[in-house]
Amino acid sequence: MTCTNCRHDVVDGANFCSFCGARQYVTPGVPVRPHKKLMRSSTDHRIAGICGGIAEYFEIDPTIVRLMAVVLALLPMPVVPGVVAYLIAWIIIPKAPAVAPVPASPQPHSTPA
């Protein structure tokens, strides 16, 4: 089981996390849903990772979020507010930590006989 607050592994059925002390509300048979946090994407970014982060948060395709952002920016009225909102989001939303690449398993080398 994973703590919903600090995301450390805790003993199954524990009432409190041994790392942060947060109360664990667990209903038997119901999977625990981890706490989601809006962050700029570190893997799916074009400019600042804002659209990629929003797509990861809502679990949708980032292309849809980018298309919506472009359409909203091209409407006559909200061009300046849309750009300003993007810049403010760039400043306020924290960047997600970089994900370490998964090392490839070593391929066995065959030697000619």
Cβ of 4: how many Cβ atoms within 10 Å? 17
Which one has a higher pLDDT value, 14 or 69? Answer: 69
Q: Model confidence over 15-67: pLDDT tens digits?
A: 777 778 777 776 666 665 667 788 888 787 788 888 888 888 888 898 998 89
Distance from the first to the final alpha carbon of the chain:
51
Q: What is the 3-state secondary structure (H, E, C) of 31-79?
A: CCCCCCCCCECCCCCCCCCHHHHHHHHHCCCHHHHHHHHHHHHHCCCCH
Q: Model confidence over 83-105: pLDDT tens digits?
A: 788 889 889 988 888 766 656 66
Q: State how far the Cα of 17 lies from the Cα of 26, in Å rounded to an integer.
A: 12
